A and B are shown apart, each in its own frame.
Chain A
Amino acid sequence: MMTDADNPTDGTPAGGDATMRVQQLFVRHQGIVKAFILSLQPGFADADDVLQETFLVVTRRAADFREGTNFVAWACSIARLKLFEARRKATSPALSEAALNALCDDTPDDSFFQARLGALRECLQTLAPRAKELVWLRYHSELASQEIADRLAWKEPAVRVALSKARVFLRECVQGRLAKGGA
């Protein structure tokens, strides 16, 4: 059913041009770009705004992208500018611009995120059912910890503590797997 790579398709407007190519790359690597943004801008809604604005700039500057260079690094360099714009508008305490700068200069490359993504998928399967449910409500359904608390009839701090524990578990599991497989 899906053998012919170049089967003519529904045809996207001006199919095959640089814009379409860059958009495809963006959509494919969106998870990693989003991880980069979420690390520095942890709120989902704010991170989505940054992601969307990054996408617009990436689309506009499609012609600047050179095939064969690292797409994720290019997209993250654009996301970085957008993060700084968002930082200037922030009202609640956040990392300083100097800290953001230092972190951005030290951003791991996409193989760092790719490796952790693969391990994370496996580690998710080993989470206890309750923790898994919490993680799904928080990260798949993107509910706030208060909403999760309402839904499960828990106290909000208990949800936060449990989520934090789940993240620690996942981090240790991911590192265990990387140490076993990678080193």
Chain B
Amino acid sequence: MKDTELSRLIDAHLDGRLSASEAEALSQLLVRDADARRQFWEQTAVHGLLPEATQLEWLGKAAPEPERNVVRVAWWRWAVPLAAAAALVLLAVVWRASQPNVPASTGVALLSRVVGAQWADAADERAAGAVLSPGTLRLNSGAVMVEFYSGARVVLEGPAELELVSAKEAFLRAGKLSAHVPPPARGFTVGSPAARVVDLGTEFGLAVTDAATAEVHVFNGKVEVLAANAAKTQSLNAGDSTRLAGGAWTRGTSDRAKFLGEAELFQRSAAQSELRLAAWRVTSRAWSGSGLADDRPRLPELSLRLHYPFDAGSPVERVLTNAVAGAPLESHGSIVGGAWGEGRWPGKRALEFRGAGDRVRFTGPESFAQVTFLAWVCVEALPQPLHALVSADAERTGALRWELTRDGRLRLNVGRDLGRRRLDWEAVNSAPFVTSERLGQWLLLATTFDGHVIRHFGNGRFIGEGPSFTPPALHLGAAELGNSPNPSIRPLIGSVDEFAVLTRALSAEEVREFYERGKP
């Protein structure tokens, strides 16, 4: 610490701002001097340990995180029970202050892989499987693979900004991409502020650093390059590169190492999945109170009553194990129909709900004051007005039904006996979340009810809330997952790979943490 110059150099190293001569000076110092190395470890340890030190300790402790970027959804809505004598089935009338536009499904490409991606705007966060409509992908770091409907494939490496124009055209505003264009996609074009690249069936890389610079490398086949302010195109063949800067082209040879290729992306993606799956397994076991003994003392009281990790036994098994330590026998789920498919990661299983009969029967907790539902779900379609997530059999005050609406809203219904012929159900909807561009992706759906307010979360983010009456107690009891005994609520069409019920309303931070630890 006495050596302020050394301290300054180490700080520059941590900020990634070493100049070549500083890197050289610091390196020599470290090789020469054992005291310098001691100071290096002392000083870098704070940087290295801070990601771990700022983690929440499992779930339960409030994070001091200033959630200043949470946008409170202004158009929450809630339903009022309608005394409609004619209505045999309850009708919940939902009023809305404003109706955000739900984009029509005008996809031009599919997001096929996502590796360590930090999106520039958290609201743009997309998972693998997402259908991409014309629009801009802004990536701060990490990499993604985009498969255009024309057949062209692009690996985009952050930081980058790519506009998807159509199935055959994209515009790279900044950053690097490598494109693989099979014969059916010939003519696939990538624009940039300085130049356009028209592909004639091949593999190439494009790098854009600013509005006047573009660098094109051809690995295979042939491309045509046209400067923005020029009329004449130039052709590049395999092995060629060209760099436009200050209005002039400089030819060279192509360098694959400058671009992230598909093979490398696949490798990274496989590594990431394996680590995330292993991390999830360990967290998940500790969470259920069934992990390694030395993991458990850190676990706060969670009121976790039901936890199906869908990670058990053999695929012919028809019992869904409730992983909560000491769980009563009747809380294990019984699978009716439903096929085993792939979950959030390769090697993780999920239960697919496809047919009208598919469901999991289980006995949930009874008589509790608060509740949290958490489910990792991949929704394929929402063709009907209501699709079931969880449905209690009982028609009584405080009974719970958790659903998705056709326009992708999460909805929690609480039964209320007002002495009419049929039980009334009061519902609170979220803003639309499972919209067309989120179909086919793994999503964390979560709803909490603290006895007064129902709150909904999509991928850990707040998506709406509304007040509710306070029933004397909440009930699940005999219930089903992915289907409903009520014929007006249609089955879920999609897969579930984790499901939990807690008899406590988790905080927004806790839901967020659950998402972070489980996201694919």
Contact = CB atoms under 8 A, between A and B. Distances in A.
B5 interface: no
Contact of B26 (A3, A95, A132): A95
A124 B53 CA distance: 8
Nearest to B310: A10
Contact of B41 (A44, A52, A112, A139): A112
B50 interface: yes
B52 A42 contact: no
B325 A2 contact: yes
Contacts of A117: 49, 52-53
A67 interface: no
Classify the interface of chain A: helix, strand, loop or mixed. Answer: helix
Contacts of B325: 1-4, 7, 9
Contact of A31 (B47, B51, B64, B116): B51
Contact of A99 (B26, B38, B44, B140): B26
A27 B28 CA distance: 35
A28 interface: yes
Contact of B54 (A24, A59, A136, A151): A136
Contacts of A10: 284-285, 288, 290, 309, 311-312, 321, 323
B133 to A, nearest CB: 25
Contacts of A27: 278-279, 282-283
Given A10-B321, A51-B275, A120 B27 contact: no
* Interface range for A: 35 or more
Contacts of A182: none
A113 B274 CA distance: 26
Contact of A42 (B16, B19, B31): B16
Which of B34, B46, B284 neighbours the largest number of chain A CB atoms within 10 Å of its CB?
A: B46
B289 A1 contact: yes
B368 interface: no
A6 B288 CA distance: 13
Contacts of A133: 66
Contacts of A136: 54, 64-66
Contacts of A23: 278, 281-282
A171 B120 CA distance: 31
Given A27-B279, A56-B274, A45 B27 contact: no
B132 to A, nearest CB: 22
B51 A108 contact: no
B47 A38 contact: yes
Contacts of A51: 275
Interface centre among B47, B311, B347 (most CB of A within 10 A): B47
Nearest to B268: A49
Interface string B204-229: 00000000000000000000000000
Interface string A126-144: 0000001101101111101
A34 B51 contact: yes
A158 interface: no
A151 B38 CA distance: 36
B45 A35 contact: yes
Given A95-B13, A99-B26, A120 B49 contact: yes
Given A95-B30, A99-B26, A43 B54 contact: no
Given A42-B16, A98-B31, A133-B66, A103 B49 contact: no
A31 B52 contact: yes
Interface stretch (B161-169, B291-299, B426-434, B478-486): B291-299
A135 to B, nearest CB: 7
Nearest to A151: B69
A95 B311 CA distance: 43
A102 interface: yes
A164 B281 contact: no
26 contacts: A4-B326, A7-B325, A10-B285, A11-B312, A28-B295, A31-B55, A38-B48, A39-B40, A45-B158, A52-B268, A52-B274, A55-B278, A56-B275, A93-B20, A94-B18, A95-B27, A96-B31, A98-B27, A98-B31, A112-B45, A120-B53, A135-B50, A147-B120, A167-B14, A170-B46, A170-B50
Given A2-B290, A23-B281, A133-B66, 6 more contacts: A38-B44, A45-B158, A93-B19, A99-B30, A102-B31, A147-B140
Interface of A: 1-5, 7, 9-13, 20, 23-24, 26-28, 30-32, 34-40, 42-45, 48-49, 51-53, 55-56, 59, 89, 92-96, 98-99, 102-103, 106-108, 112-113, 116-117, 120-121, 124, 132-133, 135-136, 138-142, 144-145, 147, 151, 160, 164, 167, 170-171, 174-175
